[in-house]
Copies of this chain bind each other. A is one copy, B any other.
Amino acid sequence: MKEGPDISRIAALIGDPARANILTALMSGKALTATELAGEAGVTLQTASAHLGKLEAAEMIHCRKSGRHKYFTLGGDDVGHALEALMGLAAGAGHLRTRTGPKDAALREARVCYNHLAGEKGIALFQGMLSRGFVSETDEDVILTDTGAKFLISFGVDLKALKRNKTPLCRPCLDWSARRTHLAGSVGRALLTQMQEMGWANRIEGTRVVKFTSKGEAAFQQEFGT
């Protein structure tokens, strides 16, 4: 009765607390070194090294060597998507809802999901782009319209560079906190980068929280608000 692919291998990898912490940390989209990840996971370097080896063998993370450092990133959008789906389960069905601290509220408002904007702000961004006709949604795919392409260029995004990349321009991504879609894909990533470049928002170091400046808040409302 072995139907479909073997879930258990993948799930078992995520099932270890140390590895789950590593993956969660990488959801921030930042490339982290083995030592940093060991700290995140709360284990020694040797142990983390073993975990990282397994995760890499399963292609759940990628690794780039740079000098004597090894920088790790998530394996791809699929991995991020599956992790978010699990977070949704854990948040909903999860019996013990760990205290909803102030950090959680900030996470719900605006955070980074793998490498693009998520949370309320992420949803607002997607809605704004939909209502302005920058993107259109059909079936599962999200398509960038001509209007949207022009907007992106005027917004300072190097669209040609994105098109050279093999990853899809736009992808929908489901949010675990609000259970609504926001924009992933290379356009999603580029938009977040650009917002940071323009000083609209900053990443809080060591967390997934994205903090908008008051100037950025106003500009966001202007560009994407309803």
Contact = CB atoms under 8 A, between A and B. Distances in A.
Contacts of A174: 140
Interface string A126-141: 1100100000011110
Considering residues A2, A87, A140, A181, which has the most beta carbons from chain B within 10 angstroms of its beta carbon?
A: A140
Given A89-B82, A93-B60, A3 B24 contact: yes
A114 B20 CA distance: 26
The 5 closest A-B pairs by CB, nearest first: A12-B15, A8-B20, A5-B90, A11-B14, A15-B15
Contacts of A156: none
Contact of A78 (B1, B83, B88, B95): B88
Contact of A139 (B12, B23, B98, B127): B127
Overall SS of chain A's interface? helix
A196 interface: no
Interface in A119-175: 123, 126-127, 130, 137-140, 172, 174
